[in-house]
Amino acid sequence: MEPPTRPSHVDLKAPPSFPDDSAMSSRLRRIDRHLGTVEQIVLVSILAIVVLTAAGHAILDRLIDYQIPFKDRVIRGGTFAIAMLGGAFATHQTRHLAMDLISRRLSPRARLFLKVALALFTIGIVTLLVRAGLHTITVEETVPHEDTFITPLKIAWLIPIGGILIITHTVLHTLIDLDYIARRKTPPERMRSGH
């Protein structure tokens, strides 16, 4: 007995399709996807810079006893940038840690309403984060800094930038969900892990 074969016309690398999307939802998903692609490119670039700087420092320190003077700033700033932009990218991917003890007991339509309510709560909390980041920027502007490329002021700017990206993805996803609610449709859901 031969094992079943996959049909040759199935493209496993194709992006997920949403046949029930309206024209508006389709445009919003496209915007969200393009923004997520840019975030992914920036994240990989920053990660490469941090890893190469740390590895280069370790090799140079071991071989010729040379310390890269800007290593600490690159690693600290890069790690913080990865954290903020990674949060935005996780929002784009809808891969945040979720506790679905309540939602798994609800119908798909009720889950959609709960998702919208949680998105509004998220937007409120992240707005507070953005305000705190802007306050940090005003404080950092009054403090004199070394004339270097990576300063605490530039790192502080990552807080509102990351927060605004998180809010943007959340708003885009919420508008898509509201479109489905208005059209009385249920959007396809990601597979749940059961954890």
Largest CA distance in the chain: 76
Q: What is the pLDDT of residues 96-120, one digit of tens each?
A: 655 566 667 778 788 888 888 889 9
Give CA–CA dist 71/149, Å, rounded.
12
Inter-CA distances, 15 with 3, 18, 40, 127, Å: 27, 10, 16, 31
Identify the band that residue 131 occupies on the pLDDT scale cut at 50, 70 and 90: very high
Specify burial of residue 25 (Cβ count, 10 A radius: 0-12, 13-18, 19+).
Answer: buried
What's the start-to-end Cα distance of the chain, in Å? 36
Q: Tell me the C-alpha distance between 178 and 78, whole Å.
A: 36
Whole-prediction pTM:
0.79
Rounded mean pLDDT of 8-19?
63
Residue-wise pLDDT tens digits, 79-91: 989 999 998 898 8
pLDDT per position as a tens digit, 17-56: 677 778 888 899 899 999 999 999 999 999 999 999 888 8
Tell me what the mean pLDDT of segment 149-153 comes to: 79
